[in-house]
Structure 1
Amino acid sequence: MLKLTQISRSYGRKTVLDAVSASFPVGLTLLVGPSGAGKSTLLRLIATAEKPNKGEVAWDGAALPGARQALRAALGYAPQAVELPDDLTAREFALHMAALKGLDAREADVQFGAITERIGLHADINNRISTFSGGMRRRLIFAQAMLGAPRLLALDEPTAELDGETAARLSELIVERAREAVVVMTTHLADALAPAAVQVLRVDQGRVVPA
């Protein structure tokens, strides 16, 4: 279980999240709300990419910063916007990320092949990222997040820029992982995924409430 208690995050005078408390059990949690409401900020806090100004993040009953290493070891994170190394092939990038996660290289390579096969990227894994379209980059970011069967998966609009069939393939993998993991996801496909979710939360005006 992931738990946030009275989390606040400000940038200068702008308060993005204000005393947010929420629990995320095993299963799929969807975050919805208007653009700029703080959904991506909430995911960055969950992924420890940022620290809250106030409040507590706890993973498996232990609070950060003490539990930060355990949370990161369990984490798969796919941000909405990220700079990818264009000089690497997709496979080289994935194996680099696997090494950072402490995963066995051979096992990660097999996992990466299986994931990319399911999301229609396998034919391109030995091509340089510089040749990739926006949708291909999105799938690559998603694939690296899935390496190691993470127990905590934070996904920021993973199906954006994808056609309907490819988005459905990613959604299938997400629902499968949510059977064993805490999955927190922002998406424009909330209506389609809501039946598979354990909860849908709305982020708006600094607050997080049931949708």
Structure 2
Amino acid sequence: MKTLVMGLHIGICHEKEKKTKKKILIEYLMQHLKNHNLYALRYWACECLCLINIIFQLYLMNKFFDGEFLAYGWKVMNFSEVAQEERVDPMVYIFPRVTKCIFHKYGSSGSIQKHDSLCILPLNIVNEKTYIFIWFWFMLLATLLAFLVIYRILIIIMPKIRPRLMNAKNKTIPIDVCEAISKKIDIGDWWVLFMLGTNMDPIIYKEIVSELAKKIETNSSNH
């Protein structure tokens, strides 16, 4: 994407240089129409893999904590609302701070004796805070990625929203231009064009989209 932008994310540049770069970019897009579907699919596949990755990590973490991790954050948040006599601190339940220890020591007769005592686990005080942060972080990532994947699916299955998204990206581009170009190109080409809008100066982007729409319309008329 950086190669395609060619420094056009900066609007202040020499007019001659800007025209040359615009021409090169438009020629590239025209020559490679219908060749960007694989790029778009790979891009979206990587986003899906991110979601799968975070879900898998949640599963492993939950397995590691014997099924307690998925509800860990909810239990911590709801802890104060539970009746006093029924309260069980979920952080202490999963990360006990005190436990029973058995020490083996030699007695006065030379035989090994067992001594029961209580051991303090200070590291668990840190662990309980660390894992509550990890829980919130994982849940945030999973939620955002889930919405992102749904958003991408809507882009794929609902072509009518594509011109509106392009127009929302740059309000200076007329909606009819967005509709015209979105109908004439494949989803991969549309995605590349849409991503260019994120990485390019808005005014230059408008000029490129307008010129590209005219060229595509001209080519369609000739054929």
Q: TM over 0.5, yes or no?
A: no
Structure showing greater Rg: 2
The structure with the largest helix share of the pair is 2
